[in-house]
Amino acid sequence: MFLPANRRRAEQRVPAEGTNTLGHIVEALGVPLPEVGGLLADGAPAEPGDRPAPGALIEVAAVPRPQPVPLDPGQDAPRFLLDVHLGTLARRLRLLGLDTAYHNDMDDPALVVQANAERRVLLTQDRGLLRRRALWFGAYVRGAQPDDQLRDLLDRFAPGLRPWTRCTACNGVLAEAAKDEVQDALADGTRRSYDVYGRCVDCGQVYWRGAHGDHLAEIVQDAMRTVAARRAPEPA
């Protein structure tokens, strides 16, 4: 999918410059290195910094699914950082309980700095951003619609999910809240119709199962099925 239309075939022939690394050759063809799962040069494992000999046969593998991500002690799912074009996806990841940072005004260098400092997987559809050498871990988000983007991401990483535990507005953790504790933030109709509430411990946003609850529940159920299918063992 990363190759130009005139190069979309299984085998590519490129000039042997002698000084170019494998990483440079692959990215020059259009494939960001974070989307490469492994390299072989004449059947032997190779690294992006290697310089292939003229006539070498290079095999470029896709990333494995599920793709492992280095986790800190006690961490059971990757942390994510999304670029400015993926706001809806960010809210859906938070709905599923995934630690997801998002800013609608952050430039590329700042995104890389935050991703590295907080060990977050940077999610983007900007190939140039994925080519930044300083980035510790990035991933290209496939799909034009949020539903497709979410399924692709869950299929790729199969993260542990904790739905309904994060604020979709700010990424803070949700805590149960008694009705009388949040009633000042509720409209009269909401106060009469609902008794179970949660509140973000960071921004104070109040949540309840409103008119969109069924739609959100469908998103959660579909996400759980996607992760379960990817985690299922391969048939013998």
Q: Alpha-carbon distance 48 to 183, whole Å? A: 58
Q: Alpha-carbon distance 156 to 82, whole Å? A: 16
Q: Alpha-carbon distance 119 to 78, whole Å? A: 9
Per-residue pLDDT, averaged over 199-204, amounts to: 96
> Do 160 and 74 contact (CB within 8 A), yes or no?
no
Q: What are phi and psi of 24, to 5 degrees?
A: -65, -45
Instruction: Give the global pTM.
Output: 0.93
Secondary element (H or E) of residue 196: none
Take residue 140 and report the two structure tokens written for it.
């290209």
**pLDDT of 235 higher than 80:** no
**pLDDT of 176 higher than 70:** yes
Angle (CA) 217-220-226 rounded to 5° is 140
Residue with tokens 């391969």: 234
Take residue 141 and report the two structure tokens written for it.
């988000």
% of the chain with per-residue pLDDT over 90? 79
Q: Alpha-carbon distance 92 to 163, whole Å? A: 10
- Mean pLDDT, the chain, whole residue set: 94
Cα dihedral 205, 163, 173, 188 in deg (nearest 10)? 20
**Residues near 5 by beta carbon (within 8 Å), at least 6 away in sequence:** none
Q: Alpha-carbon distance 96 to 159, whole Å? A: 10
**pLDDT of 236 higher than 70:** no
pLDDT in tens, 180-190: 889 888 888 88
Q: Alpha-carbon distance 136 to 117, whole Å? A: 10
